[in-house]
Amino acid sequence: MGIIVGGYARISDVGELGDGRDGEEGVTRQKEDVHDLVKVRSLTLHRMYVDNDLSAFKRRVKRPDFDELVSDLETEIIDGIAAYNIDRVTRQPGQLERLIDIYERARRPMVFATTAGDYDLSTDDGRFNARLYVMIANKFSADAARRVARQKKAEALQGKPHRGVAPFGWMDGGEKAEPFEAELISKAHRDILNGKLLSEVHAEWVELEVRSRQTPPGRNITYTAVRYILTNPRLCGYRVYVPQAEREKRGRIDLSEFVLERSDGTPVIGEWEKICSPDEWRAVCDVLKSRAMKGRGRKKGTTVTKRLLTRLARCGECGGGMQSMMYTRGTVSFDRYGFFYACLKAAGGCGGVSRSGPPVEEHVEGLLLGHLRRMSKALRSGTSEINPALVKARVDLDQVKAEIAEARQLRESGEFPLKEFVREIKRLDDRRDVLEIEVATLNVSGLESSTTAAERIIREWGTYTTPMKRAAIERFIEAVVIKKQPRGGNHAFRSDLIDVIWK
C-alpha cells in the first residue's frame, strides 16, 4: 500500500501566484497535478484537502482544510503531503514550522512531494530549501498584495465607486443617493452647523431606528457610526482610498485623512450623486473636530457649562464674565428658578452682581426673536444658508478663546512658567484679534445668508435644543450685560437692567 499522503490544493487571491491554477478551473488542474504526482511516485492518496479562494500569505485568514491536514499528519492518519507546489501548501513561515516540527518528530518515513521536487524535512538541507522557498513566496505574496492594492487605487483615481455594499446615503451600486438617508444626513449637517451636538443627532437617529450598514440586528446605531456617516468625504464626492494595511491596523478610521488627491493636490471627484457640497462637508468635519478637542482639554471636576448665556453674560459693574450656579436645595429660589448667574470673586470678578437665570434667559430669547423678525423683514433676499468661511472662522475663534482660558487656568494653578505663559498668551491674543476681525467682516458680508438663517431660526426655535439656541444667540449677540439691582424694593425681574450688545 505504501505511503499514504494527503493531497493539498488552494485557490489563491487573484494574481497572487499567477501560475494559471486559480479559480474553479485552476483547482481542477491542481487536483489533476496531485493525482499524476501520486501515481508517478507510487503513493496512496488518502483524500484531497482544498481551501477555497483564500490567501496563504495573510496570517489572519483561516484555512480549515490546512488545519485538518496538519492534524491528520500529527495523528498519523497520513504520512505526507502531495501538492502542485510548496507555494500552494503555505506561504507562511510559521505554518511551515508547524509542518517541520511534525516531520522532525516522526518515527515513520514521511514525504513532502510536489511536482517541482521533494522536500526532505528530516534533513537540514531539506528544511533549508523549504524555508528559503516559503520565505521567497511570502515576499512575492506581499508584492502581489501591493500590486492588487495599486490596481484598486488606480480604479479609485478614475473615480470608480467602491465595490461591495453601498455606503450609508446611497442605494445599491453606490451611484444614486438613497432619498431618506440623504435627507437625514443633510438635516443632521444643518443642525450640527447650527450648534446641535453629535450626541443629540445620535439620540434622534436611535429614536428613528436608523441603522448603519454594520449595525447588528436588534442593536442601535452607535455614536461612532453616526460620526463616520456624517463626516464621510464621499458625501461631497471626494474619493477615499484606505490602504488595506491601514484598515487592518485600526478599528474606526478617520476617512477625511484618506481623501485621494491628484498630483496637483486637488481631490479626486467620484462619479456618484453628491449629498452635500465640499464646503459643507469641511465645515461639519471642522466643527466636530474642534468640539472634540475642546472636550479633551477639560480638567476633571470643572463643570461643562450648558446654560444659554454661558460665555455671554457679563457683570454690569466690572465687566467680567458671569458664571451660572445652582441655588441651594430647599430654598424658595431653588424651587422657583433653579439657578442664577453671578459675578464671582473666585473667578476674578468683583462679586457684586447676581441674577436669577430663567427670567434673564427668557428675556434674551424674546429679544433675539424680535431682532430676527425685524432683520428678515428688512432684508428679504438671499440664497446660501451656510457661509462655511464664517462657520470656520467662528469655530477657530471659539477654539482660541478656549485655549486662552485654559492657559490662564494653568498659569493660576502654577503649571505654566511665567515667561512661557506671557509668550503663549501674546500669540493667542494676536490670533484672537485676527479671527475677531474676520468673523465681524464675514458677518457683514454674509448679511444675506444671515437673513435666511434668521427666518429659519424663528421657524424652528421651538425645536431647538439648548446648544442650538446658544449657537444661535452667539451668532447675533456679542454680550448680555447684567446690571446691579438697586438695594431695597422687591426683587421682581427688571428688563431695563439687562443690556444686550448685538454683533
* Euclidean distance between CA atoms 263 and 331, whole angstroms: 68
Tell me the closest approach of the beta carbon of residue 364 to Zn ion, in angstroms: 19
What binding mask, one character per residue, do residues 416-455 give for Zn ion by CB under 5 A, x or -? ----------------------------------------
Phi first, then psi, for residue 68 (nearest 5°) are -70, -40
Segment contacting Zn ion by CB under 5 A, of 93-101, 246-254, 261-269, 339-347: 339-347
Closest alpha carbon to 46 in 86, 10, 2, 84? 2
Among 86, 182, 226, 315, binds Zn ion (CB under 5 A): 315
Among 343, 364, 395, 482, binds Zn ion (CB under 5 A): 343
* Number of residues binding to Zn ion, judged by CB under 5 A: 7
Q: Does 485 bind Zn ion (CB under 5 A)?
A: no
Among 268, 288, 318, 325, binds Zn ion (CB under 5 A): 318
Near Zn ion in 348-367, by CB under 5 A: 349-350
Tell me the closest approach of the beta carbon of residue 493 to Zn ion, in angstroms: 19
Place of cell 430663567: 358
Q: Which is nearer to Zn ion, 194 or 354 (CB)?
A: 354
Tell me the closest approach of the beta carbon of residue 313 to Zn ion, in angstroms: 11
Q: Which is nearer to Zn ion, 350 or 405 (CB)?
A: 350
Q: Does 317 bind Zn ion (CB under 5 A)?
A: yes
* Euclidean distance between CA atoms 119 and 137, whole angstroms: 15
| N-term to C-term CA, the chain | 96
Maximum alpha-carbon separation in the chain: 114
Q: What angle do CA 373, 375, 378 make, to 5 degrees?
A: 110
Segment contacting Zn ion by CB under 5 A, of 41-49, 243-251, 307-315, 492-500: 307-315
Q: Does 480 bind Zn ion (CB under 5 A)?
A: no
**CB-based contact 120:103 (threshold 8 Å):** no
Q: What is the 3-state secondary structure (H, E, C) of 311-360?
A: CCEEECCCCCECEEEECCCCCHHHHHHCEEEECCHHHCCCCCCEEEHHHH
Contacts of residue 255, defined as CB under 8 A and 6 or more positions apart, other chains included, come to 228, 231, 232, 233, 234, 240, 242
Segment contacting Zn ion by CB under 5 A, of 19-27, 174-182, 335-343, 403-411: 335-343
Q: Which is nearer to Zn ion, 102 or 318 (CB)?
A: 318
Segment contacting Zn ion by CB under 5 A, of 4-12, 347-355, 373-381, 407-415: 347-355
The residues of the shown chain that bind Zn ion, judged by CB under 5 A, are: 315, 317-318, 320, 343, 349-350
